[in-house]
Amino acid sequence: MESRVNFKKLEKRGVTAAAGFKAAGIAGGIKKGKKDIALIYSDKPAAAAGVFTLNRVQAAPVHLCKEHLHNPIQAVVINSGNANACTGLKGMQDAQEMAVKTAETLALKKGAVMVSSTGVIGMPLPMDKIIPGIEAVANSLGRGIDYDLATALAIMTTDTRPKQTAYRCSTPGGTFHIGGMSKGSGMICPNMATMLAFLTTDVKIERDLLQQLFAEAADSSFNVITVDGETSTNDTALVLANGAAENIEITPRSEYLPLFKEILSKVCQELAMMIVKDGEGLTKVLTLKIKGAADECGGRKMARSVLNSPLVKTAFYGEDANWGRIIAALGYSGIEFDPSKVDIFIGPYQVAASGGAVPFSEEKMKKVLQERDISILIDLKLGQSEVTAWGTDMSHEYISINSDYRS
């Protein structure tokens, strides 16, 4: 039976891999000579689910998305180059106007449009460029490799490359797809940071179930990556499910629910990892597993504390197995644990046992630390939970990029 269900990665595909979706990305003049307006369109009204920044300062488009989230959705319009954050009442009006213009151009209701923005904070949107840009992008919609790429390029800011992935799942009941794109490289922290992700799928699914599954997938992907501990004002991850894959309906009792969950998580994790790997100025990608925390929530908080620690990050940049900085960062995470029980491994080698030093070969460790990908395992020996999180080192390049971003 198992062999009749399989899934396949679709190379170079993203938001239009799923049936019934079109997309486009164009240069609207917000950023000099680069693509900066993207549009995703579904032929049919789609169920939408989303997770948003936990920052108390939330950009205007985030407010609009939350308002529209329970509506049937047919379009997502996104601009890069300006975040429309800290822009007051004018910002809310501009976000509304983006939705209205998109709806008019595509003959939809305003409430069927989601809006997203990323870029500089505190400057009004250049609506003189955005309004004609929306008309242009709506006239450019299409399906396939070229359209996926153009769309993924148009949402980039300091990203050095476009980020997208897609899967086709074949089952005896029919075929369905999940694909998506993301952006983000600086200001990335768990619980959403200036990162955007947009997923599309052609399964049929109730909104509430989609929201539940998407929130779970985000918790083990977008919410466990960190570059610099910053949580932005604009973070948004959305998924649209339009039901265009005939016969495939995902319900709590559907036989394909586990497959759908697995592929949804896979797409989210791949999109999240692409953000980490494009982290500003990184030279190392850190994969941190924390075993034995009292619960997953606490484990994640500890993982963030370690991966956000400037002293841990600079130690890995310096290729130094400084486990004392790791245990100190666990200690100020705010989560209860027993320091005298903690084991720590870097790569395959144990560096701390029961909270104290373990001798290791400096030579063998050097080889582990010279790699670009480094795994860290912490065993707290308290409970049964296990969480994995991803982060980066912090380099001279990080300082360079961020000390002259605005000017």
Footprint on this chain of a copy of itself (rule: CB under 8 A): 54-58, 83, 85-88, 90, 120-124, 186-187, 189, 228-233, 309-311, 314-315, 317-318, 320, 322-325, 327-333, 335-337, 339-340, 352, 354-357, 394-396, 398-400, 402-407
CB of 342 to a copy of itself, least distance (A): 9
Q: Which tokens go with 172?
A: 């005896």
Nearer to a copy of itself, 240 or 312 (CB): 312
Which residue from 3, 21, 5 is spatially nearest to 13, judged by alpha carbons? Answer: 21
Pairing of strands 6-9, 163-171: antiparallel
**Under 8 Å CB-to-CB from 174, ≥6 apart: which residues?**
245, 246, 247, 248
CB of 399 to a copy of itself, least distance (A): 5
CB of 35 to a copy of itself, least distance (A): 23
Q: Which of 151, 171, 194, 233 is catalytic?
A: 194
Which residue from 227, 163, 164, 203 is spatially nearest to 392, judged by alpha carbons? Answer: 227
Which residue from 326, 347, 216, 228 is spatially nearest to 276, judged by alpha carbons? Answer: 228
DSSP H helices, 185-232, are 207-219
CB of 28 to a copy of itself, least distance (A): 22
> Is residue 15 within 8 Å of residue 164, measured between CB atoms?
yes
Nearer to a copy of itself, 70 or 364 (CB): 364
Nearer to a copy of itself, 132 or 331 (CB): 331
Which residue from 212, 18, 251, 39 is spatially nearest to 139, judged by alpha carbons? Answer: 39
Q: Which tokens go with 110?
A: 């305003």
251 a catalytic residue: no
CB of 124 to a copy of itself, least distance (A): 8
**Which amino acid is residue 61, in one-letter code?**
P
CA distances from 178 to 239, 243, 259, 277 (A): 9, 12, 11, 22
* CA–CA separation, 280 and 262 (whole Å): 29
Nearer to a copy of itself, 265 or 309 (CB): 309
Nearer to a copy of itself, 167 or 398 (CB): 398
Active site members: 194
